[in-house]
Chains A and B, each alone.
Chain A
């Protein structure tokens, strides 16, 4: 896995053993958008008999690409989880859809899967049962992660509050408390990633290759969609929520 991360890195960087996450993400995104997604689409629309093998290969490639992303998140989390939770490099139309532990896309993956499965129109009983199980599991796990994140914040402020005003070394105390909070946030973040990774693998394993392909196409398109240049520039021009309503009418 790290070989592939290294492969993506620029050999001319000052630190050959480290690489800005932003650069990794940008390259990862381009590969998804310009290589893997078009490949998947091409093999999905092909009718030849050999296309199933090819489709299966492309499904696996895109699946691995997502796993690579989650591995990279884990890796970078130990460096600075805060920047991953609040990524400056993501577009402003995308940011509101990123949640503290990115729970949105965990459940989103599942909902999307349902959408695709229903569109496919022939979900097997085993598949329905399995998806139900995953969803039930997520309903238990995700809120627990949110509670952990909330508690970490509570512990941080309580630690500071208890000592506040008692002695001179307040700055050191606050720095220590913030550091402690980051450790817990890393643990929550890594756990959230583990769930995301396993839900994705689970879905790929219980669906047929076509279902998996449609699902991954939807997921990839969702990410790629935010990076659409025309959309981003229109988005930036777009006035406030109320004013926009009128220009929406003009569009229609």
Chain B
């Protein structure tokens, strides 16, 4: 299985965001840093709720900086107050707009990242749609680059089992607030898992049907006797076509599940988090399986009598 190279991608994304933050911070220092230093990272909604409460403080502070002179010259206290209020309102709007802009930029960067990851998974899950050799089918089911331990641990018709992706999602809920904090999402997920398992079972059934009947359909007997392998090859070809169709179905289901998770179940930030974890876990399992394969060498028979015998 080729996997998403999560680390460099994520690092790039983080760098982008950091750069954005630094730039933003430097302007903030000039304008509103002295006004609301602690609120820089708070949610916009929270701020709106507290807006009125803060208004006076802001006005006071703002007044200290720029309105002091004016205020001292003013004869009418009411006029002074309204100017101060307007100034603080204006300043607030400015900071909200700045925060929105920052969020939008981060959101666009995150969107790009998610899109890039999804494109990668789409390519991975559409491998072999048009196989160039009959041999390619077995490469789809048992890719040479994927160690046997990884295949045994994860593989279902060549790559991740769609219901395992959902199992992983549930287990990652500790770091995905949009999942752990919403009952509706939880219900959606239960339903999705149920439906996906049914679809998997249908595909399993189709594959089992092909395999249990292949012994009838593969005409090896005649091949040897006639000295021609034409008929045997033709029958393998016909069975391969059926298996290929099943693999394509499995691949489509796999991508559909990932797409639903990323686009419909999770919030944008959580979708990014999930994709990073998903790719990271794949990488980690791949490395461990590869190390184990190297360490173990080829599978062997132990010639000492064992309990199982």
A residues in contact (CB < 8 Å) with B: 1-2, 5-6, 9, 15-22, 24, 71-72, 74-76, 78-86, 88, 92-97, 99, 103-112, 115, 142-143, 146, 150, 153-154, 156-162, 164-166, 170-171, 174-175, 178, 181-182, 185, 190, 218-219, 221-222, 224-226, 228, 230-231, 234-236, 238-242, 244, 248, 251
Q: Which residues of chain A have C-beta atoms less than 8 A from B214's C-beta?
A: 97, 104, 108
Q: Which 9 A-B pairs have the closest CB atoms?
A: A225-B220, A104-B211, A161-B171, A107-B212, A95-B138, A82-B148, A82-B152, A83-B299, A231-B229
Name the distance in Å between B177's Cβ and chain A's nearest Cβ: 14
Q: Check A228 against B301 for contact (C-beta < 8 Å).
A: no
Q: Which of A160, A185, A236 has the most CB of B within 10 A?
A: A160
B136 at the interface (CB under 8 A from A): yes
Q: Which one of B4-12, B47-55, B153-161 is at the A interface?
A: B153-161
Q: Check A111 against B213 for contact (C-beta < 8 Å).
A: yes
Q: Which residues of chain A have C-beta atoms less than 8 A from B239's C-beta?
A: 96-97
Q: Which residues of chain A have C-beta atoms less than 8 A from B306's C-beta?
A: 75, 78
Q: Check A178 against B288 for contact (C-beta < 8 Å).
A: yes
Q: Check A146 against B204 for contact (C-beta < 8 Å).
A: yes
Name the distance in Å between A143's Cβ and chain B's nearest Cβ: 8
Q: Check A228 against B232 for contact (C-beta < 8 Å).
A: yes
Residue in B closest to A115 when the chains form the complex, CB atoms? B216
Given contacts A170-B284, A239-B132, A241-B131, contact A86 B142 (CB under 8 A): yes
Q: Check B243 against A79 for contact (C-beta < 8 Å).
A: no
Contact of A158 among B139, B170, B218, B229 (CB under 8 A): B170
B residues in contact (CB < 8 Å) with A: 130-139, 141-142, 147-149, 151-156, 161, 163-165, 167-172, 174-175, 200-201, 204, 207-208, 210-216, 218, 220-221, 223-224, 227, 229-230, 232-234, 236-237, 239-241, 243-244, 277, 280-281, 284-285, 287-289, 292, 296, 298-306, 308-309
Q: Is the interface of A mostly helix, strand, loop or mixed?
A: helix
Name the distance in Å between B204's Cβ and chain A's nearest Cβ: 6
Q: Which of B168, B288, B303 has the most CB of A within 10 A?
A: B303
Q: Which residues of chain B have C-beta atoms less than 8 A from A110's C-beta?
A: 212
Contact of B277 among A2, A161, A251 (CB under 8 A): A161
Q: Check B300 against A18 for contact (C-beta < 8 Å).
A: yes
Q: Check B236 against A93 for contact (C-beta < 8 Å).
A: yes
Name the distance in Å between A106's Cβ and chain B's nearest Cβ: 8
**Complex: A165 Cα to B174 Cα, angstroms:** 10
Residue in A closest to B227 when the chains form the complex, CB atoms? A230
Q: Check A231 against B243 for contact (C-beta < 8 Å).
A: no
**Complex: A33 Cα to B171 Cα, angstroms:** 50
Q: Check A234 against B299 for contact (C-beta < 8 Å).
A: no
Can you name 22 A-B pairs with beta carbons within 8 Å?
A: A1-B309, A72-B301, A74-B309, A79-B299, A80-B296, A80-B299, A99-B211, A104-B211, A108-B211, A109-B215, A142-B208, A158-B167, A161-B281, A174-B285, A178-B149, A182-B152, A224-B220, A228-B229, A236-B135, A239-B134, A241-B244, A244-B134
